[in-house]
Amino acid sequence: MPSASGSVAIERSPGRGDVRARIIDAAAEMLRAGGSAAVTTRGVADAAGVQAPTLYRLFGDKDGLLDAVAEHVMRTQVAAKAQVVDAARAADVDPLDDLRSGWQAQLEFGLSNPAVFRMLSDPERVATSPAARLGREVLEARIHRVAEIGRLRVTEARAVDLVQAAGVGVLTALLATPAERRDPELGAAMYEAVLAQILTPAHTAGAPEGDDALRGAAVAVRAVAPRLEMLSPGERGLLVEWLDRAIDQL
**Statement: the pTM of the whole predicted model exceeds 0.85:** no
Expressed as residue numbers, the domain containing 171 is 19-199
What length is written for the chain? 250
Q: Which amino acid is at 128?
A: T
Q: Is the pLDDT of residue 41 over 80?
A: yes
Structural domain count of the chain: 1
Region for 53 from its dihedrals, namely left if φ exceeds 0, alpha if ψ lies in -120 to 50, beta otherwise: alpha
Q: Is 220 domain-assigned?
A: no
Higher pLDDT, 22 or 206: 22
Q: Is the pLDDT of residue 205 over 50?
A: no
E strand or H helix at 195: helix 186-198
CATH number at residue 133: 1.10.357.10
Q: Is 123 domain-assigned?
A: yes
pLDDT tier for residue 14 given thresholds of 50, 70 and 90: very low
Q: Is 243 domain-assigned?
A: no
Q: Which three-class secondary structure state does DSSP give residue 8?
A: strand
Q: 13: exposed, middle or buried (C-beta count within 10 Å: 0-12, 13-18, 19+)? A: middle
Cα separation of 125 and 119, whole Å?
Answer: 7
